[in-house]
Amino acid sequence: MCCVSRYINLDDCWQVARRSNGTIIENPAMFPSGMRTIADAVHARGLKFGLYTAHSTHTCQRRPGACQHEAIDAQTYCDWNLDYLKIDGCGGCPVASNVSWSIFREHFDACAAKTGRYMVESVESCGSVEGCGQWIAGIANLWRTGGDIQANWHSILGNAQRNNAMSSVANSHPGHFNDADVSAAVLSLVCYG
């Protein structure tokens, strides 16, 4: 059996600023036709489209994050017809990550009810069955169980062990998944410069 990814996801650095009303702005030089046009083109090819953000003030590459903009960002992503959102954990925010993730989920569910387009929510991170493992599947579709995987055996083995420790959470919630940072198999564009 062969499994083929149906998602094209843009990683960090697609966003450059926020408008005065708080709406996120995509890089006009890289995406002059806008994200909705890209999403439509991806959908026309039978694929799904996703983006990256962080629940913090800034993303890992110091671009605008979602901190205290979750509702407006979720509505923007709904308007752009997104199918997937990765929410990273870089930076800081006075809003707890689970509160931020819950706001996104609430608005994504409202979007799905209105448009029929379901949005996958991928969050960073949940690594404890006793802690976030008790509620994570009610918010996210998949969750990182460890840190960024590195190109060495120690890192790979450590992430696999952390992922295995969370297996009961994913196994008891069909359609929800642990992410040992192997989601890089999803086609992504990254920031250069």
Residues labelled catalytic: 88, 148
CA proximity to 102, closest of 134, 140, 52: 140
Please state, in angstroms and rounded to a whole number, the distance separating the CA atoms of residues 148 and 132: 19
- Which residues neighbour 99 within 8 Å (Cβ) at sequence distance 6 or greater? none
Which tokens in the block code for residue 46?
A: 């039978």
* φ/ψ (deg, to 5) at 149: -70, 140
Please state, in angstroms and rounded to a whole number, the distance separating the CA atoms of residues 163 and 170: 10
